[in-house]
Amino acid sequence: MTLEALLAYAHLLAILTLVVFISSEAALCRPEWMNAQVVERLGRVDMIYGIAAGVVLLTGIARTYWGMKGVGWYWTNPLLHLKLTLFVVVGLVSIKPTMMYSRWRKTLRATGDLPPEAEVRTARKWVMVQAHLIALIPLAAVFLARGFGGK
């Protein structure tokens, strides 16, 4: 019972961290706020977001193996597969802004130029897609936790 509670806590803490940092990206990635400090900060914020996503995945997998319901219950439920699919899609969508931030930082350091407004708007759109997809994952989670989708 204690392990289940600790795993749930670690998973929830990682999820909250992920949400805070994707929200930070959305807040920072605006053409009207773009400056050299924001370009550098976006890279750091995105790195922490990526680490949090990895911890979310690892703690979620740990819950399926060491949680009370067990591997057989989780891995046969299509809602778990829906959650994982959404998580992978979010991860794939996150590649574009991550690459843009990296390119912006290199350009800033080499030439002092800030990213063009159109690129900032594009990056923000990708971040917002991630944020909205992330919001769907808990919907599947609450149904999964209540036994929907099981045999």
DSSP-assigned states of every residue in 44-94? HHHHHHHHHHHHHHHHHHHHHHHSSSHHHHHHT-HHHHHHHHHHHHHHHHH
Dihedral angle sign, alpha carbons of residues 62, 10, 137, 142: positive
Indicate the average pLDDT of the chain: 96
Q: Global pTM?
A: 0.93
141-147 LR contacts (CB < 8 Å, sep 24+): 141/79, 141/83, 143/79, 144/74, 144/77, 144/79, 144/80, 144/83
pLDDT average, residue stretch 61-80: 92
Does 151 fall in a domain? Answer: no
- Which H or E run contains 125? helix 117-134
Does 20 fall in a domain? Answer: yes
Residue type at 96? Answer: K
Residue 143 has pLDDT above 90, yes or no: yes
Does 44 fall in a domain? Answer: yes
Residue predicted with more confidence, 22 or 68: 22
Q: Please say whether the beta carbons of 107 and 144 come within 8 A.
A: no
Give the count of beta carbons closer than 10 Å to the beta carbon of residue 94.
21
Q: What is the pLDDT of residues 50-65, one digit of tens each?
A: 999 999 999 999 999 9
Check residue 68 and give its pLDDT.
Answer: 85
For residue 60 the two structure tokens come to 């979620």
Helix or strand or coil: residue 136? coil
Does 34 fall in a domain? Answer: yes
Check residue 151 and give its pLDDT.
Answer: 66
Does 150 fall in a domain? Answer: no
Range of the domain at 7: 2-145
Number of structural domains the chain divides into? 1
Does 13 fall in a domain? Answer: yes
CA distance 71 to 56: 17
